[in-house]
Amino acid sequence: MTRTLDIAKDLISKKSITPNDAGCQDLLIRHLNLLGFTIENMNYGDVRNFYAKRGTNSPLVVFAGHTDVVPTGPEDKWQSPPFTPTVTDNKLYGRGAADMKSSLAAFIVSIEEFVAANPNHPGSIALLITSDEEGVATDGTVKVIEALKNRKEQIDYCIVGEPTSNLEFGDTVKNGRRGSLSAKLIVEGIQGHIAYPELIKNPIHEIAPVIHDLVNTVWDEGNEYFPKTSWQISNINGGTGATNVVPGEVEVLFNFRYSTESSAESLKTRVEETLKKYQLNYKIYWNHSGQPYLTEKGLLVNKLSEAIEEVLKIKPVISTTGGTSDGRFIATLCDQVVEFGPINESIHKINEYVAVDDVDKLKNIYRITLEKILLT
């Protein structure tokens, strides 16, 4: 049993279902106090956040992550209790094992080892930790970043410990994420008896050509870093449940995952132009939950990639695929933000796990990256 694994198990044992921190941050803070970090608790509502910093000089390297986890689902489906960390067949099982309590443990021990070897190191190290990443994410990292902006704090480099690896540990580094734009569209018709089409206006029929056009629209071609912008429907609801009644309205929920080649405003405009083309009676409610962000290949991407190659002997792919993360908030204050962590195959699933051997390899990658940035 290694120190990194011990801390990961301690964290997994805490039932920190979002936005409840359940004592995880107190555990991390105890370790950081011993390393001479200055701790700022920055809590908002039910959400716990902290910003811990060691040093006052630049460059500043920040490790960012979250202590909250998603609900477990039916616990009787788990092979072991989800908040009882269990090692079986060289895998550590438990909710948060991959997303992202092993990364948090690796942050701590990588910094411990770095500081032990370099007690008077140049530059500064910080951690930005929240309990509001898996939920609505309105009182977590975004609020801490606002506070740091207000006092003119500058972050030079940031590593977010999200589980980015795909098929093999270390195969993927995220250097950005697509933007996310959602909408609820309500198209109104005239409800009535299905046998009297002259007296009704079927909103499902009305919206059908709109859906056809939007599905077949090429929103952009993407670029070197981003795939093409994608438009997808997640829900369609309409009807009374009766087979002889045409509904009065239909509701459609959809989402864009968009590249830096498009903007939220341009996508909204194009959708509404299509709706107006078919002269629909509609209401639309937009929710823009994240701008796309991108760190072009530079010092941070290069040094992290070098560390991965040293430890794992593989060259990672640099990618922007996947969902959103708190990197989108940090990128408004920091030009170089990357995400790297364990294999993501089991995240949010029953029997979430991380390979035991990967936990200390992850710690070593974080430590070597620190060395390459602050000591060279």
**Rounded distance, CA 122 to CA 240, Å?**
67
DSSP 180: E
**Rounded distance, CA 337 to CA 64, Å?**
10
Amino acid 235: pLDDT: 97
- Domain limits, the chain: 3-177+292-374, 179-290
Tell whether domain 179-290 is in CATH 3.30.70.360.
Answer: yes
| Architecture of the domain defined by 3-177+292-374 | 3-Layer(aba) Sandwich (3.40)
Per-residue DSSP letters for 3-42?
Answer: HHHHHHHHHHTS--BTT--TTHHHHHHHHHHTTT-EEEE-
- Is 224 among the residues known to form the active site? no
- Is 133 among the residues known to form the active site? yes
In one-letter notation, the amino acid at residue 358 is: D
C-alpha separations of 263 from 179, 213, 228, 229 in Å: 9, 19, 13, 10
Gyration radius of the chain's alpha carbons: 24
Please list the pLDDT of the chain residue by residue as tens digits (376 residues). 799 999 999 999 999 999 999 999 999 999 999 999 999 999 999 999 999 999 999 999 999 999 999 999 999 999 999 999 999 999 999 999 999 999 999 999 999 999 999 999 999 999 999 999 999 899 999 999 999 999 999 999 999 999 999 999 999 999 999 999 999 999 999 999 999 999 999 999 999 999 999 999 999 999 989 999 999 999 999 999 999 999 999 999 999 999 999 999 999 999 999 999 999 999 999 999 888 999 988 999 999 999 999 999 999 999 998 888 999 999 999 999 999 999 999 999 999 999 999 999 999 999 999 999 999 8
Catalytic residue among 112, 133, 206, 358: 133
CB 81 within 8 A of CB 346: no
Amino acid 290: pLDDT: 86
Amino acid 376: pLDDT: 87
Amino acid 1: pLDDT: 79
The pTM for the full model equals 0.89
Amino acid 322: pLDDT: 84
Catalytic residue among 68, 113, 249, 339: 68
